[in-house]
Structure 1
Amino acid sequence: MQQKNRPRIKRNRLLAGVVAAGVAGTALAGGMLANTLPVFADPVHVDAPQQSFGFADVVSKVSPAVVSVRVTEDVKTAADDGEDQMQNPFDNLPKDHPLRRFFDMPGMQGAKPHGRQLPRHAIAQGSGFFISDDGYLVTNNHVVDGGSKFTVVMDDGKEYDAKLVGTDKRTDLALLKVNATHKFTYVAWGDDSKVRVGDWVVAVGNPFGLGGTVTAGIVSARGRDIGAGPYDDFLQIDAAVNRGNSGGPDFNLEGQVIGINTAIFSPSGGNVGIAFAIPASVAQGVIQSLKEHGSVQRGWLGVQIAPVTDDIAEAVGLAESKGAIVTLPDNETPASKAGIKTGDVITAVDGQTVATPRELARSIGDDRPGTTVNITVWRDGQAKNIPVKLGNLASLDESASVSSKNGAVPTNPSSLSGYGLTVTPSEDGNGVVVTDIDPDSTAAEKGMQPGDVIVAVNGKAVTDQKEVREALRDAAKSGRKAALFQLRQGDQNRFVALPLNKG
């Protein structure tokens, strides 16, 4: 054993000798080596609490307040051939509906009726939760949409009939009411503004109709925009959320509702760890309005808007690319009556800055119809305040679609040299039509295409190539680096900023 240890001892003595020599050399060098060693900051360190962790206490308290929502929908016809198939209510959503690419409405595959037609009923299931002891409960709009009868199933199996108080498609929320002689266990709203990415979240719901099921995870992200509408501000969570969890609550560790499950992202239709929840702060106001009025009252400005890009900001003389540019004020709307014009950049509402079109939409929607708000716009190189009396968004026909007009290609085109565009006056005399475009030009990179009508350049209406060039020269004289083209395609307006004197 001693012989085996000798080499190690020798290596240690040798290392000690080298270290000693190094120290001596450092001393002889007057400590210069020590002075040149880099100094590093301390690494990240977190003092984690030492505790035995579980969710059982939270679950035992909140579970009696979480319910399954069974929805019966009348189906016009079904085959009498004995096949037990039902139509899926989700199939009736428009093809471009944002929720089609996410989830819910777990109905059967659609049957192909033949033979004698009989009335049938489709049944869908979701989740919900009580928010008061007198029987008000929250779920998703897409859970109850099209339903004729609503049944609430408690965690102990008891069933109650419920009536629909109101729905809000824009936030996918609905309010039901159960009438009973006894009081219900209910849960409170939490403050989702205090929720941080990485915080624990507990989801309780009715996946696949199995009944009360609990899953847990963390908040993966905040402020998610999934393209469902201007009020998108979802919490993203990784707790296992599946079909049937729609309308179910997400709890913090204090048993408060911080979110309501509304959608999942999944190529397969099942849980892949990406679920989206409506924040409690959004839901509270909507649910209160449904309870008081049966609908949600939102302010309405009446403009089509687009983001302000860096190029657009440069073209109109804004210091920052913030705000929402008005692509078209709709006819006979509060905005058009107040004097807001195409090309105005809305930068603030009642003195509060709006950085994006979504912020503008939410700010206006938070105000009640009939309220007069002060809209700050950037026009002709300066800020201007315009008071606007808001209309009622609920009065709009949301199913109205914008028609597309495709006219014949005008004749006598001429080149707009330096920009890669070939244009000709439009048939109605309003603007010039782009008939051809160089695919390698900046205009093409910015999305301009044949058929676009150039209505104005830097806010000046144009009717021919000459007026376009005059507007470009005026922009250059004013020191601008880009020119703002207002384009029309059918009934839609948009803005594109092109660098001056570049193709």
Structure 2
Amino acid sequence: MTILFLLIAFSAPHTYADDISHIIEEVFHSSVAIEVEEWHHDSPYKTQYTNKQQYSGTNDYDHSRVITGSGTIIHKKHSRYYVLTNHHVVERAQRILLVLCNGDIHLGHNFRSDEGNDLAIIIFDSTKNIPVADLHYDYQPLVGEEVYSVGNPMGFLFSVTQGVVSAIHKTSFEKKSALYFQTDAVINPGSSGGIVVNAEGKYIGVSTFIITQAYIPFGGYIETGVNFIFSFYNAKKIIDALLHGSSNEHAWIGYTYSPLTFEVITDLAMEDGNAVIIDNIYTSIPRTENALQLGDLVFSVNGTAIEKMPHSKISIILPLISAMQTTDTATLTILRQRKKLTIDIPVHRRPETLQTLSYSVWPGYRASPLPRLLKQNYGLSKQDFAHEIIEVYPHSSADASLLQPNDIIIGIDDQEELSYAEYFSLLHHAYLKKEELTLHIIREGNTRIHITLSPPSNTQHTSRYKQNERKHTSNDIYRDSKNVY
């Protein structure tokens, strides 16, 4: 009796932490660390990643680099295993190595991608019996519930972070498309593609992207930690298409858009920013008279209002369009020249990769109004027009013209006192008339240059990387102590 009493008295009680630890251990068994060798190209003017098959690597700027990511084994067929990860982890891969939690290393010899949903499948072979995760397609995450993100942040293998579901971003359309949920569970580079589970051990999503910086009016840019997870809820069709190698067709309308900034909202005297602005047109897509125009503000798609998500990579407009049939027509409510309109836009089949059409995008760059408090750093007043280039699309007109990120646009042709509506109007007029534009640029803080932006042609532009390190001529750059033209 005494021995039995001692065993009962000194045995450790089972705790909630024990349950979670057991769940995470099980998750580790089906998780993989991904090491990707990808081709990297350093331009003399900017850094950009390209495809090794397209660029032979004969100049000093081509080399490879290694990035890390995360994934989960979700299917097995005979001795073949299928690993789910993000498309952006493997999109430029030349070689893929997979590391299991027991230390085994496998070569990923094939993968399939769904760029529209940022998902991919890596395939490897093994004669061992490796656990396979069971994804929960019928479970919708609940705001406030605990979640755990498993991955390889910054190369630290098989790490776990804890958080809660902060919000559900309902980007589904008639339950045809998946949704994202937001969490405060810490995600870092290397976490992409990692599995997310809840406290019951249900596999509910994939870590996809983070918002690392946001602009606060009158406060400048601040660091954030807003993390987004691709939810498995209602996503079985998407995953099955990847597993079986079938095409997961996405619809699109051939434009790019950005969330509104404080400067645009103020300039247009809007009450709120619940809209997106059309900032690029894929000119190779057939257009009707009712086509969208550069600078149009889109407020709703098929009767569903745009969800305000400042400075994020997603907005409700993308999945609303993506989930439609390619024979459908999208009905958009827009604001154009301060007039509210309802227009019908034909829906097209989205290419497997938009890189095949990048030559046709106009103007070929993404830009954002320079915050008023930062204008003084460039010798500008708060009222001066200034658009900072954030991204240049490869092979586009902007790329061929040698525009680069961080360039500041302060005028077009002979106009410098521009409103944002006038800026987009000039860009759209050049698109319609197939005319060149001269952009007035501030580069690297104290250099002012003129760059000619030519309309896109029907054939792909010669990339700057195929040129012999093309540089600006003396006619391109004008310098003096007063930074004037």
TM-score range, shorter chain: 0.5 to 0.7
Q: CA deviation at 1:449?
A: 8.3
CA 1:204–1:322: 2 relative to 1, 3 Å = closer
Match of 1:384 in 2: 342
Residues 48-102 of structure 1: CA distance to partner in whole angstroms, max 9, x if unpaired? Answer: xx964332221243232112334456x8xxxxxxxxxxxxx5979x95779xxxx
- Once the two structures are superposed, the pairs formed by residues 27-106 of structure 1 within 5 Å of their partners are 52-54=16-18, 55-71=20-36
Which of these residues, 304, 317, 328, is aligned with residue 371 of structure 1? Answer: 328
Q: Give the whole-Å Cα distance in 2 for the aligned partners of 1:207 and 1:166.
A: 24
Q: Structure 1: which amino acid aligns with 2:306?
A: V
CA 1:336–1:154: 2 relative to 1, 3 Å = same
Q: Give the whole-Å Cα distance in 2 for the aligned partners of 1:176 and 1:255.
A: 24
CA 1:336–1:440: 2 relative to 1, 3 Å = same
The structure in which a higher percent of residues are strand is: 2
Match of 1:290 in 2: 242
3-state SS, counterpart of residue 64 of structure 1:
helix
Residues 405-451 of structure 1: CA distance to partner in whole angstroms, max 9, x if unpaired? Answer: 9xxxxxxxxxxxxxxxxxxxxxxxxxxxxxxxx9475x769999862
1:202 aligns with 2:148: yes
Which of these residues, 159, 165, 175, is aligned with residue 121 of structure 2? Answer: 175
Q: Give the whole-Å Cα distance in 1 for the aligned partners of 2:42 and 2:410.
A: 36
Q: Structure 2: which amino acid aligns with 1:374?
A: T
Q: CA deviation at 1:251?
A: 1.5
1:323 aligns with 2:297: no
Q: Give the whole-Å Cα distance in 2 for the aligned partners of 1:484 and 1:154.
A: 52
CA 1:450–1:136: 2 relative to 1, 3 Å = closer
Q: Give the whole-Å Cα distance in 2 for the aligned partners of 1:484 and 1:72.
A: 42
CA 1:336–1:394: 2 relative to 1, 3 Å = farther
Q: Give the whole-Å Cα distance in 2 for the aligned partners of 1:345 and 1:273.
A: 27
Alignment root-mean-square deviation, CA: 5.4
CA 1:338–1:255: 2 relative to 1, 3 Å = same
Q: Which runs of 5+ in 1 are unaligned?
A: 1-49, 76-88, 99-112, 115-119, 225-230, 406-437, 456-464, 469-482, 495-503
Q: CA deviation at 1:252?
A: 1.0
3-state SS, counterpart of residue 53 of structure 1:
helix
The 8 Å contact of residues 110 and 122 in structure 2, kept in 1 or not, is answered as: yes
3-state SS, counterpart of residue 75 of structure 2:
coil
Which of these residues, 344, 349, 355, is aligned with residue 301 of structure 2? Answer: 349
CA 1:333–1:484: 2 relative to 1, 3 Å = same
Match of 1:280 in 2: 231
Match of 1:472 in 2: none
1:451 aligns with 2:411: yes
Residues 428-478 of structure 1: CA distance to partner in whole angstroms, max 9, x if unpaired? Answer: xxxxxxxxxx9475x7699998624799xxxxxxxxx9xx9xxxxxxxxxx
Match of 1:132 in 2: 75
1:486 aligns with 2:422: yes
CA 1:336–1:355: 2 relative to 1, 3 Å = farther
Q: Give the whole-Å Cα distance in 2 for the aligned partners of 1:218 and 1:332.
A: 44
How many aligned residue pairs are there? 341
Q: Structure 2: which amino acid aligns with 1:215?
A: V
The 8 Å contact of residues 376 and 386 in structure 1, kept in 2 or not, is answered as: no
Q: Structure 2: which amino acid aligns with 1:194?
A: P
Q: CA deviation at 1:373?
A: 3.0
Which of these residues, 196, 211, 215, is aligned with residue 160 of structure 2? Answer: 215
Residues 342-374 of structure 1: CA distance to partner in whole angstroms, max 9, x if unpaired? Answer: 565433333323345932233212334343333
Q: Structure 2: which amino acid aligns with 1:364?
A: I
Residues 136-160 of structure 1: CA distance to partner in whole angstroms, max 9, x if unpaired? Answer: 2112334434434434333334444
CA 1:318–1:148: 2 relative to 1, 3 Å = closer
Q: Give the whole-Å Cα distance in 1 for the aligned partners of 2:271 and 2:327.
A: 33
Residue identity over aligned pairs, in percent, reads 19
Q: CA deviation at 1:301?
A: 1.0
The 8 Å contact of residues 280 and 362 in structure 2, kept in 1 or not, is answered as: no
The 8 Å contact of residues 87 and 118 in structure 2, kept in 1 or not, is answered as: yes
Q: Structure 1: which amino acid aligns with 2:344?
A: I
The 8 Å contact of residues 110 and 124 in structure 2, kept in 1 or not, is answered as: no
